[in-house]
Amino acid sequence: MATPRVVFLAPSYPPEMIQYTRGLAEVGAQVFGVGDTPREGLPKEVRRYLYDYLQVPRILDEEDVMNRVTQWLRGREIDHVLSNWEPLVILAARLRERWGIPGMSADVVRGFRDKEIMKERVRAAGLRVPRSRRVVTERETRAAAEEIGFPLILKPIAGAGSADTYRVTSNAELDAAIAAMRHVTEASCEEYVEGEEFTYDTISIGGVPAYENVASYLPKPIEMRSIEWISPVIITVKDMYQPKLAPGVELGRKVLKALGMGDGFTHMEWFLTPKGEAVFGEIGGRPGGAHLVDQMNYTSDIDLFREWARVAVHRSFEAKAPRKYNVGIIFKRALGRGKITRIDGLGDWLREAGPWAVEEKLLRPGTQRRNWKNTLLSDGHVVVRHPDWEEAHRLSFAAATGIRMYAE
């Protein structure tokens, strides 16, 4: 069998892309990396997995990157063009189209990137979607708000995570959100859905999930991003096929079909209303961030970085993936400003969690505190897992309330 040759965009940024690069190399691919990091600046742990590398001036300049990569690879056959970073998924699709390489088209990928096109296609399949409008101008935003009514959500059309996302409950809050989003060129104004929020994550082959995951956001991401003192908690659900969550799993599978999913990762967010109705939130044609893939790995004792690569290159998912644990990740935010001075309660929590604590990566004293508004990762995290949901939940919130970090 010939060695598969893969162009992988941004193989070292964000940092978790190093693991996907490793996965590609481990399933036998020659990896041609493309990024705007200088070759000498690439982390040494990624260099060993790259067959070749092209530095471009600006990885987000699609036309320039397409021309440079086409010239660089002239005369060489490429089998796959891949990206797992949200801003580059359409660029990857456009390169596939230019070179006549199989994979999802730019039009299909746009349905996973543009939140209004996404909702239109999901709605057309008869699935429950929040009422929404695409808005560009302040006048359009106010008109959409009048039509949809408060509370509502304002967020970028092509955003990722909860960046620049606002819950709006009054005209005063609408004024503030409009002012804060002046740098956003297009936004989605949509109905706020009451209820619990979950993920539905997959690695799919031809749109059919080979691996599925559900995780619970505690609290909702919009609250995680808007209240500084909160320690955000995300817990993967071991028993994801329980009756309570079945409507969301069914919804997720139908969304994949409605959007024409091909091969690879998806990360969907959905709401469970107090009446038990599953409502679509949004979906990306890439893995979830904020260490969600690490959580899934801990859930099943698996390497999904490698299994994604096997699916992307060989269209095969080989690993066994029993759901053994509920896995909680708890992000901490230091109180105060400046450099971190101390961490309280960590030792007590580690002793309480015992063998169920599987990861501790909090920033150390002397380290500059991060801007919590710019990253869910905040000032580090701890990870705990347990086969019993209640205990996983208890230990997660023991970390959320019992571990305190201080900065000054």
- What is the structure's pLDDT at 50? 98
User: What's the token pair of residue 167?
Assistant: 């819950």
User: Structure pTM?
Assistant: 0.91
Q: Which of 230, 213, 206, 227 is nearest to 288 (CA)?
A: 213
Statement to judge: residues 242 and 310 lie in one domain: yes
> Where does a domain end: 173, 191, 209?
191
Q: For residues 134 and 254, what is the distance between their CA atoms, to the nearest angstrom?
A: 24
Q: For residues 265 and 204, what is the distance between their CA atoms, to the nearest angstrom?
A: 6
Statement to judge: residues 198 and 307 lie in one domain: yes
Statement to judge: residues 210 and 320 lie in one domain: yes
Statement to judge: residues 342 and 281 lie in one domain: no
Statement to judge: residues 13 and 70 lie in one domain: yes
Quick: pLDDT tens for 249-264: 999 999 999 999 999 9
- What is the structure's pLDDT at 222? 76
**pLDDT class of 159 with cuts at 50, 70, 90:** low
Statement to judge: residues 198 and 319 lie in one domain: yes
Q: For residues 380 and 407, what is the distance between their CA atoms, to the nearest angstrom?
A: 13
Q: What is the mean pLDDT of residues 164-176?
A: 90
Lowest mean pLDDT among 165-169, 291-295, 364-368: 165-169
Where residue 380 falls (left for φ over 0; alpha for ψ -120 to 50; beta otherwise) is: left
**pLDDT class of 372 with cuts at 50, 70, 90:** confident
The answer to whether residue 125 is domain-embedded is: no
Q: Phi and psi (nearest 5°) for 135?
A: -130, 140
Length of the chain: 408
The answer to whether residue 118 is domain-embedded is: no
Q: For residues 286 and 160, what is the distance between their CA atoms, to the nearest angstrom?
A: 10
Statement to judge: residues 335 and 300 lie in one domain: no
> Where does a domain end: 299, 324, 349?
324
- What is the structure's pLDDT at 9? 98
Quick: pLDDT tens for 37-67: 999 999 999 999 999 999 999 999 999 999 9
Between residues 149 and 235, the one the model is more confident about: 235
- What is the structure's pLDDT at 376? 82
Quick: pLDDT tens for 270-280: 999 999 999 99
User: What's the token pair of residue 28?
Assistant: 């036998």
The answer to whether residue 314 is domain-embedded is: yes
The answer to whether residue 269 is domain-embedded is: yes
The answer to whether residue 115 is domain-embedded is: no
The answer to whether residue 267 is domain-embedded is: yes
Between residues 202 and 115, the one the model is more confident about: 202
Cα atoms found within 13 Å of the Cα of residue 357, Cβ hemisphere only = 19
Q: For residues 380 and 377, what is the distance between their CA atoms, to the nearest angstrom?
A: 6
- What is the structure's pLDDT at 160? 62
Does the pLDDT at position 373 exceed 80? no
* All residues at 6 or more sequence positions from 80 whose CB lies less than 8 Å from its CB, including other chains: 4, 5, 6, 7, 29, 101, 103, 312, 313
User: What's the token pair of residue 7?
Assistant: 């162009």
- What is the structure's pLDDT at 97? 98
The answer to whether residue 122 is domain-embedded is: no
Statement to judge: residues 267 and 298 lie in one domain: yes
Q: For residues 387 and 391, what is the distance between their CA atoms, to the nearest angstrom?
A: 8
Quick: pLDDT tens for 214-225: 999 998 887 777
Please check whether residue 51 is in contact with residue 31, taking contact to mean a CB–CB distance below 8 angstroms. Answer: yes
Statement to judge: residues 211 and 186 lie in one domain: no
Q: For residues 112 and 230, what is the distance between their CA atoms, to the nearest angstrom?
A: 30
**pLDDT class of 164 with cuts at 50, 70, 90:** confident
Quick: pLDDT tens for 131-142: 888 899 999 999
List the Cα angle 357/219/278 in 5-degree steps: 110
Where residue 168 falls (left for φ over 0; alpha for ψ -120 to 50; beta otherwise) is: beta
pLDDT > 70 in the chain, percent: 99
Does the pLDDT at position 350 exceed 90? yes
Statement to judge: residues 161 and 259 lie in one domain: no
The answer to whether residue 121 is domain-embedded is: no
Q: Which of 201, 211, 220 is nearest to 287 (CA)?
A: 201
Statement to judge: residues 214 and 336 lie in one domain: no
- What is the structure's pLDDT at 196? 96
Q: CATH code at 177?
A: 3.30.1490.20
Please check whether residue 332 is in contact with residue 396, taking contact to mean a CB–CB distance below 8 angstroms. Answer: no
Does the pLDDT at position 10 exceed 80? yes
Statement to judge: residues 236 and 307 lie in one domain: yes
> Where does a domain end: 165, 191, 217?
191
* Domain containing residue 97: 5-110
- What is the structure's pLDDT at 374? 79
Q: How far is CA 9 from CA 83, 173, 203, 309, in A?
A: 5, 39, 19, 14
Does the pLDDT at position 377 exceed 90? no
- What's the total number of domains in the chain? 4
What 3 state SS string does the chain have? CCCCEEEEECCCCCCCHHHHHHHHHHCCCEEEEEECCCHHHCCHHHHCCCCEEEECCCCCCHHHHHHHHHHHCCCCCCCEEECCCHHHHHHHHHHHHHHCCCCCCHHHHHCCCCHHHHHHHHHHCCCCCCCEEEECCHHHHHHHHHHHCCCEEEEECCCCCCCCCEEECCHHHHHHHHHHCCCCCCEEEEECCCCEEEEEEEEEECCEEEEEECEEEECCHHHHCCCCCCCCEEEECCCCCCCCCHHHHHHHHHHHHHHCCCCEEEEEEEEECCCCCEEEEEEECCCCCCCHHHHHHHHHCCCHHHHHHHHHHHCCCCCCCCCCCEEEEEECCCECCCEEEEEECHHHHHHHHHHHEEEEEECCCCCECCCCCCCCCCCEEEEEEECCHHHHHHHHHHHHHHCEEEEC
Q: CATH code at 205?
A: 3.30.470.20
- What is the structure's pLDDT at 266? 98
Where residue 197 falls (left for φ over 0; alpha for ψ -120 to 50; beta otherwise) is: beta
